[in-house]
Amino acid sequence: MAPSTAHDGPLGLRERKKARTRDALVDAALRRFTEHGFAATTTEEIAADVEVSQRTFFRYFASKEDAVLAVQEHIEEKFLAKLAARPLEEPPIEALSNALRDTWAELDERTTQTQLLVLRLLEDCPPLLAAHLRRLSEHQDRLVELIARRTGVDPATDLRPRLVAAAFGSVSHVAHVVCHQRGCRGAADLRSTIGECLDELVPALTEPWGTAGPAAPAAD
Amino acid sequence: MAPSTAHDGPLGLRERKKARTRDALVDAALRRFTEHGFAATTTEEIAADVEVSQRTFFRYFASKEDAVLAVQEHIEEKFLAKLAARPLEEPPIEALSNALRDTWAELDERTTQTQLLVLRLLEDCPPLLAAHLRRLSEHQDRLVELIARRTGVDPATDLRPRLVAAAFGSVSHVAHVVCHQRGCRGAADLRSTIGECLDELVPALTEPWGTAGPAAPAAD
DNA sequence: CCCATCATGTCAGTGACTGACAAATGGCAA
DNA sequence: TTGCCATTTGTCAGTCACTGACATGATGGG
């Protein structure tokens, strides 16, 4: 359940305390939101759980939503690193897809559980979804830059980096929604759903649809 | 500049007054947001411009953001209608692309200008963007239903309607961003940018990228 | 051991948004 | 026209997210 914001390194006492407070706030927010709902929870309650003032809560997070969404930073950073590590010969969409698979391949079960929990929250809480989508769009802007650099095209004149980043981003969002809809429970479920979505995108766009199902029908 | 919420039909005096008030509120919001910025404008000021109370403002719009985003309803409805009118033989992504072209093809210059203005607001105002993205995601859910029905597949088991709707949605959003970036001025600019984005999506995903630019290089 | 730095608490204030009630206004029928 | 009902609106009070300013206390370096 805890956020696990990898804080190793030689940090001062001060820094470690801050990290602990932050983690505790995320934890408390997650718990209260799941138990009583996002709307029914006040930032003061979250702060009280951790025994800090509301003002302190807002020094750690810019908004109530951010306390939950913070758990995604970790994954986003990892993803960018994985992408940078993919061989340059891979076509952009392949590199992105593989980077995403690489990312989820090495997340531990607890992190995955937290993610699934957040996805559930997103689904039945519009303001949370809105904040999440905005984050995603900022993440996509960074993706555009990386893709442009990796392929050597100019994102100001060439639309393709934007298009691929956007398509990819929306597919990974679909994967999340589908995970929630299917009631995925563990890392394995999540990974296979993500894999399916990535695999089916291009065929869905380019191949005729037999009504019987996609090229690789679900084994049921 | 005015919203132009096509209100013809045999409406009572009451309904017409409501429509006028609503339009006036959208109008005032748009004006104040562009002149002083979204954050620096209060809902009370908007209400005062139209000479109604703040409470009335919130009876028309669920949030400050909604007053701007309301101008998109019109287009979304039109788009859904255009999609329904596309021949069933068209593959889904083609039908969506053509429906979007059809939609923008018959919007008048004033509506287009309003849209461009809204796009500009979205770009430099995160909360507005967040609300917009949330709207888009709801719109996409409706798209999924329509696509599934039109192709006869079950959206609960087949991922393709979701994938195509998501990819399409993200591409049209890219088109908007690019329009803003390029400083598109009129309906013609907007239409050609949208066309470009739609045309380049599949090639960007399936064809190798020459660094010289896409299949149809910018004339520059 | 002292001092500069930084995290925190307190307080007051703004502004989005809501429920409840009362007043006014449009629509309709007698 | 008049009277009645439904709907719209204004007012008021309240909640809650979020912020700036200032005071206090802890930390870590010298």
CATH number of the domain enclosing A162:
1.10.357.10
pLDDT at B129: 98
Asked, for residue A219, whether it belongs to a domain, the answer is: no
Same-domain status, A112 and A63:
no
Residue ranges of the alpha helices (H) in chain B? 13-36, 43-50, 54-60, 66-69, 73-85, 92-105, 109-123, 126-151, 160-182, 187-206
Nearest to A104 by CA among A130, A72, A133, A135: A72
A193 pLDDT higher than 50: yes
State the nearest Cα–Cα gap between B65 and chain A, in angstroms. 12
Q: Is B217 contained in some domain?
A: no
Average pLDDT over residues A72-92: 96
Identify all chain A residues contacting B196, using CB atoms and an 8 Å cutoff.
159
Q: Tell whether B189 and B85 lie within a shared domain.
A: yes
Residue B12: per-residue pLDDT: 75
Q: How far is CA B188 from the centre of its chain?
A: 16
Q: Are A109 and A190 in contact (CB under 8 A)?
A: no
Which chain B residues are within 8 Å of A174, Cβ to Cβ?
159, 162-163, 166
Shared domain for A45 and A90, answered yes or no, is: no
Q: What is the DSSP letter of B65?
A: T
Domain boundary among A67, A93, A109: A67
Weakest mean pLDDT among A84-88, A90-94, A183-187, A200-204: A183-187
Q: Which nucleotides of C are covered by protein (CB under 7 A)?
A: 6-11, 15-20, 26-28
Is A78 found in the same domain as A149?
yes
| Boundaries of domain holding A43 | 13-67
Taking alpha carbons only, the member of B208, B184, B203 closest to residue B216 is B203
Q: What is the pLDDT of residue A211?
A: 57
Whether A43 CB is under 7 Å from strand C: no
Residues A62 and A114 in one domain: no
Q: Which amino acid is at B151?
A: T
Residue B84 lies in a domain: yes
In a domain, B3, yes or no: no
Q: Does B107 lie in the same domain as B200?
A: yes
Residue of B nearest to A147 (CA): B209
Q: Are residues A76 and A178 in the same domain?
A: yes
Q: Is the CB of A59 under 7 A from strand C?
A: yes
- In this structure, what CATH number is given to the domain that contains residue A49? 1.10.10.60
pLDDT band with cut points at 50, 70 and 90 for residue A99: very high
Residue B139 domain-assigned (yes or no): yes
Flag whether A1 is in a domain: no
Here the ipTM equals: 0.91
Domain for residue B137, yes or no? yes
pLDDT at A6 over 90: no
Residue A216 predicted with pLDDT over 80? no
Given a cut of 50, the residues of chain B with pLDDT beneath it are: 1-9, 215-220
User: Does residue A78 surpass a pLDDT of 50?
Assistant: yes
SS3 string, chain A, reads CCCCCCCCCCCCHHHHHHHHHHHHHHHHHHHHHHHHCCCCCCHHHHHHHHCCCHHHHHHHCCCHHHHHHCHHHHHHHHHHHHHHHCCCCCCHHHHHHHHHHHHHHCCCHHHHHHHHHHHHHHHCCHHHHHHHHHHHHHHHHHHHHHHHHHHCCCCCCCCHHHHHHHHHHHHHHHHHHHHHHHCCCCHHHHHHHHHHHHHHHHHHHHCCCCCCCCCCCCCC
pLDDT at position B23 is: 96
Å: B63 CA to D1 C1': 43
Which of A44, A67, A90 finishes a domain?
A67
* A159 and A86 together in one domain: yes
Q: What is the mean pLDDT of residues A78-94?
A: 96
Count of structural domains within chain A: 2
The reply to whether A148 and A196 lie within a common domain is yes
Residues of A in contact with B177 (CB under 8 A): 162
Which chain B residues are Cβ-neighbours of A177 within 8 angstroms?
A: 162
pLDDT at res. B13: 74
| Model confidence band, residue A11 (pLDDT cutoffs 50, 70, 90) | low
Interface contact B163-A200, CB threshold 8 A: yes
Determine if strand C comes within 7 Å of the CB of B11.
no
- Tell whether B110 is covered by a domain: yes
Residue A55 Cβ < 7 Å to strand C: yes
Distance CA(B161)–CA(B86), nearest Å, equals 16
pLDDT over 70 (residue A7)? no
Same domain, A17 and A74: no
Q: What is the pLDDT of residue B211?
A: 57
* B74 and B56 part of one domain: no
Q: What is the pLDDT averaged over residues A169-181?
A: 96
CB contact under 8 A, B209 and A166: no
Check whether residue B59 and residue B147 sit in a common domain: no
Closest C1' nucleotide to A17's CA: C7
| Average pLDDT of the segment spanning A122-149 | 96
Count of residues making up chain A: 220
Q: Which pLDDT belongs to residue A62?
A: 97
